[in-house]
Amino acid sequence: METAEIARRFLTFFENNGHTVVPSASLVAEDPTLLLVNAGMVPFKPYFLGQRTAPYTRAASAQKCVRTVDIDEVGKTSRHASFFQMLGNFSFGDYFKAEVIPFAWKLLTDPVEQGGFGLDPERLWVTVFFDDDEAESIWRDKVGLPSERIQRRGMEDNFWSMGVPGPCGPCSEIYYDRGPAYGVEGGPVADENRYLEVWNLVFMQFERGAGESKTDFEILGDLPKKNIDTGMGLERMAAILQGVDNIYETDTLGTILKRAAELSGTKYGENENVDVSLRVVADHVRTATMLVADGVKPGNEKRGYVLRRILRRSIRNMRLLAGAAEDRHYMHDLTATAIRVMSELYPELRTNAEAIHSVIDAEEKNFSDTLRSGTALFNRAAERTKVGGHTQFSGADAFQLHDTYGFPIDLTLEMAAEQGLSVDEGTFRSLMQEQKDTAKRDAKSKKLGNADIGVYARLLDGSGATDFLGYTDHESESRVLGLIVDGQPVTVARAGDRVELVLDRTPFYAESGGQLADKGTVASDGRGLVDVDDVQKPVPGLFVHRGTVRSGELAVDDHVHAAIDGDRRASVSRSHSATHLIHSALRNALGTGTGQAGSENQPGRLRFDFTANKAMTPTELAEVEEEVNTVLSGDIQVRDFQTSLDEALAMGALAMFGEKYGDRVRVVEMSDYSRELCGGTHVPATGQLGIVKLLGESSVGSGVRRVEAAVGIDAFRRLSKESMLVSQLSDQLKTPREELPQRIDTMVARLRAAEKEIEKLRAAQVLQAAGGLAANAREVGAARVVTHRVDDGVTGDDLRKLVLDVRGRLGEDGPVVVAVAGVPKDRPVVVVAVNKAGQERGLAAGELVGVAARVLGGGGGGKPDVAQGGGTDASAVDTALRAVEQRISESV
C-alpha cells in the first residue's frame, strides 16, 4: 500500500466517523516557543491548553513534522529521520477511551477491501499505563485482545505530558510483531525492535504541575474535559504495510535513496559507510524540499540554519559518495525526485517546484564555493594541529570556519573525525554565544511584546475577531475590549503606561504582508489619549494596538475615537502598490519562476525580495524601472475583491510562496498587469504613485535577491539630490554631464596605475634589505636565525617575498629560520620560513607562527616551510619575534 494511500485511508476512516479533516499546518510553527512543528498535535496545542476554543469536537490530520534533535543520528541508523508525517485523530471533550480504542483496532484490522489496513490481529500487542485498569479492560473485554498481549508500563513509557504544566495523562501504545527474525519473544517490554510501535493513543485526563523531568511532577487534578490525542507515524506504518525492513526502503524515502545511489554510482546495502551517506541524502533532501515549500530560506539563524545545515550535509555526503574530485551538482535532480514522490499528498509541491529548485540550487552553488575555500582553511588548520603534536582541532578555527565560510559545526566535526581529530567544542560554543550576546535582540520579541500568547487567545475567545474598517475608513468609534500592561490584563491604563489595546473595531492596519502598521491616536471622550505607534496580530483575527498613554486614563469598556495618521497611510499605500508593479515587472524581465520572498512597505520607500540565482544587470534594472513607471503613468484603476482561493488561482492571481491562505481570499488587481492575493492597503489608481525610483539590487541570502525603491515625493527628492550631485561633479571636473562617466573612468585608471607603481617601489625597497638581513643572521642554538620588524605600511605579500628571499640567500647549510613582522593596515602580521634542513631538525613554520600569533592576540598557520599569522596587538610585535627565537632555542 503506497504511503499516500495509507494517509488517505486514515483520514477517510475518521471522516466517516464524524471527524473534521484538518489540512497539515505549515512546518513553520505559529507557537513562538517552537522553531518548527515537531509533533502532530502542535497545531491543536492552543485547544488542549484552553487558550482557544476548538471549532470542532473531533478532528483528524496528517501533519508534516521536523525534529532537529536527532539530526546527527540521521543516517547512522535506519529509523532516525528529520522529517516525518504524523497521522492523528483528536477529541476535544467529546469521546474518550471507550471510543478511541475500538476506532484504532477497527482501522488496523479491518480488511483492505473494507477500508482498513488489514493487519493480522494475532500480531498486535498493546501497552497500558501501570494503573490504567480502564484501558486494559476495554482492550480485553470490548476489543477481545488476549490478556497475555496487553503489557503494563510506567511513567517513562506510558504517560504523556507536554513537558510543562498543563494537560497530561496515560497512554496506550499499539505494537506490531514483525516476527522471530527481528528479535526475541516477549512483547514490547522484551524487544521494541521486533515489536514495532505503530500508534500511540494519549488519554488527556489530568492537569500536571511543574517538575524537573518527564516523571517528576505533581498531578493537580482532573481536567474539566477529557481529550484524546493520537499519533501514528506514517513512514513506520508504510514500512509495515509495504513489507520492508525500515523507512528508507519505503516508496518515498526509498525512491530518493535509489536515485542518490544511481547519481553517485553506488549501491545500497553493500557498505555501511555508503549506506549511512545514502540515508543522510535521502532524508535531508526530502526535509529540505518540505521546508523550502513552507517558505523557509537558508540562513545562519533559527529555521534558516536548520535548513542550511541539512542541505549542506546532504551536498557533502553526495560529494563523498561520488568521489572527492567530483564537482557535479546533484540537488536539482534529487529535489525533483522528492517533489515527485511527495506531491501525491502535497500537490502544492508541483505548483511551486520552480521556486523550490531556485532556492536549493542556489544553496548548492554557494556551498560548492564554500567547500573549496573552507576546506583549504580546514586542511591547513588540521595540518597545523597534527604537526604540533595535538589531537584536538582548535575551537577558534572551527568558529572561523562557521563565521567566515558558513561551515556548520557538525561538518567540521565530521571532517575532523575523518582525520582522527576531535574538536574543541567548548571554545566554539563560547565564541558562538559571545557573538549572539553582542548581536541585536531578536526583532520578533520586540513585535510580540512580553505578554503570554494565551492572554491574546483568551481575549479573542471572549470578544471575537476585531472588525477591520481600514480599507474604507481612517477613523472609527470603537469600544475598548481589553488592556494589557507589562504583559498582564488590566482594567485601567494611566498616563505614562506602555499599553496594548484591543478594540471591537478599528481603522488601524496591523503589520502583515510586508506592510508596516498604521500610527495614530485613540482618545476616550476627553478622559485619556493614547499615541499608537504599532499594531500587531499576535493571534489571527485579533488587532493589538501598542502605544503610550499620553494623558489621562483609559478603561475597559470605554468608548473611544480611533484615528490613523492619514498622510502616513497614503504614503505606505503608495509603496505597497509600487511593490505589486515591481513584482510583475521583475517576472516579465527574469521569467515567471521569479517569486516573492518577502517585502517591506514603509512611508515612501520599499524593499522587495525575490528568488533568483544571479544578480540583475544594470540594463535589466533600468528596464524594470522604465516598465513600472510606464504602467503607473497610465493611471490604472486598482481594484480589490473577495473570492475563493481556487477561483483566485484560476484567474492567475499570484500567491506568496510559502504563505498559507484560507478558503476566502482578497485579490488586488491592476487591470491585467498585476493580480495578487493581498490583505494590504493600496492607492485607488496607479497615477497616485507619481514616480518609482529603483535604488539598487543586492543579495540577501542563498538564492534570494533584493531591490529597494523610493516612491512618490521620496523618489522625487532622491532624483533631485542625485541631479544636484551630478551638477557639482560636472562643475568640479569641468566636464559636461554626459561625459562624466568616461572622465571618471580615466581618473580612476590613472589612480590605480599610480598605486601599483608605488606598491612596486615599496616592495623593491623592502627587498633591498634582504642582503643585509641575511648577512646579519644570528646563531640561535644550532640554527641561523633572522628576526626583523619592517616599517608599517607594507603588505602581507611584501613580508612573504622578503622572508623567502632571505631564506634563499642563507641556503641549506644547516637549519635556517627567518621571521619577519609588520603592521599593515594597523593589524600585526608575522611570516615565518624554515629551510629543509630546519624542517628535518623538527622546526616547522606553522608551529612558530602560532607561537608569535598567540602573543599578538590572534592565530595563523600554514605549511612546515612557510606560514603566516596575525593578531590585534600591534604593540607586541617585538615580543612575538623574541618568543619565536625562544622556541627555536628550545627546539634545536
From the first residue on, what is the mean pLDDT of each consecutive set of 10 residues in the chain (892 residues)?
Answer: 96 96 90 84 86 89 89 80 95 96 97 95 96 96 96 93 85 96 94 94 92 82 92 95 93 96 92 92 96 88 87 88 73 96 93 89 82 76 84 87 71 82 89 65 42 74 89 95 90 93 96 94 90 91 94 93 96 96 94 85 94 88 95 94 91 79 89 94 94 91 86 90 89 90 91 85 76 89 90 76 91 92 85 92 89 84 84 89 91 80
Q: Is 284 annotated as a binding residue?
A: no
Q: Which of 561, 558, 576, 571 is nearest to 520 (CA)?
A: 561
19 is in an annotated binding site: no
The conformation of residue 72, written as its DSSP 8-state character, comes to G
Judge contact between 502 and 543, C-beta under 8 A: yes
b/e burial code for range 819-845 (CB count within 10 A of at least 16 → b):
bbbbbbeeebbbbbbbbebbbebebbb
Residue type (1 letter), 588:
N
Task: Report the residue count for the chain.
Answer: 892
Bridge partners (DSSP) of residue 818 are: 786, 833
β pairing state of 422-423 and 392-393: parallel
Q: Is 559 marked as a binding-site residue? A: no
Q: How far apart are CA 232 and CA 252, in angstroms?
A: 17
Find, among 349, 411, 393, the residue nearest to 859 by Cα: 393
Question: What pLDDT does residue 439 have?
Answer: 47
Q: Which among 5, 13, 68, 11 has a CA at the least distance from the CA of 35? A: 68
* Cell numbers representing residue 201 in the block: 493513543
Tell me how far apart the alpha carbons of residues 621 and 695 are, in angstroms, rounded to a whole number: 10
Which cell goes with 830? Answer: 608575522
Residue 498's φ and ψ, nearest 5 degrees, are -85, 115
Beta-carbon contacts of 114 under 8 Å, excluding residues fewer than 6 positions away, are none
Name residue 608's beta-bridge partners: 599, 707
What pTM was estimated for this model as a whole? Answer: 0.63
Cα gap 45→28, rounded to integer Å: 15
Burial 474-484 (b: 16+ CB within 10 A, else e): bebebebbbbb
d(CA 262, CA 330) in angstroms, rounded, equals: 11
Bin 659: left if φ > 0, else alpha if -120 < ψ < 50, else beta: beta
Cβ–Cβ under 8 Å, residues 377 and 625? no
Q: Which residues of 605-629 are buried (b: 16+ CB within 10 A; e: fewer)?
A: bbbbbbbbbeebeeeebeebbebbb
Q: H or E segment at 731?
A: helix 713-733
What is the residue-wise DSSP string for 420-471? T-EE-HHHHHHHHHHHHHHSPPPHHHHHHTTS-HHHHHHHHHHH---EE-TT
| Interacting residues of 589 by C-beta distance below 8 A, sequence separation 6+ | 616, 620, 623, 624, 627
Residue 441: HSE in the Cβ half-sphere, 13 Å Cα cutoff: 6
DSSP letter string, 514-554: TBPPP-EEEEETTTEEEEEEEEE-SSTT--EEEEEEEEEEE
With residue 371 as reference, give the H or E element that holds it.
Answer: helix 353-387
DSSP label at residue 865: S
Residue pointed to by grid coordinates 510580540 = 448
The reported pLDDT for the residue numbered 373 is 67
Q: Which residues contact 107 (CB under 8 A, 6 or more apart)?
A: 9, 10, 13, 116, 117
Q: Note the pLDDT of residue 326.
A: 55
Quick one: 641 exposed, middle or buried, by C-beta within 10 A (0-12, 13-18, 19+)? exposed
- Calpha distance 128→126 (Å, rounded): 7
User: Which residue carries 533584493 as its cell?
Assistant: 706
Q: Pick from 786, 734, 795, 733: which is nearest to 766 by CA?
A: 795
CB atoms within 10 A of CB 266: 18
Nearest to 394 by CA among 431, 423, 432, 418: 423
CA dihedral 593, 594, 595, 600 (to 10 degrees): 180
pLDDT, residue 445, reads: 40
Query: Would you say 171 is a known binding-site residue?
Result: no
In the numeric block, which cell numbers belong to residue 434? 559571545
Contact 708, 694 (CB under 8 A): yes
β-pair partners for 554: 493
Residue with C-alpha cell 550631485? 725
| β-strand pairing of 520-524 with 528-536 | antiparallel
Cell 502532530 belongs to residue: 40
Residue type at 95 in one-letter notation: Y
C-alpha cell at 856: 599578538
Contact 231, 200 (CB under 8 A): yes
Q: How far apart are CA 838 and CA 185, in angstroms?
A: 68
Q: In whole angstroms, what is the distance from residue 705 CA to residue 81 CA?
A: 32
**C-alpha span between 845 and 195 (Å, rounded):** 60
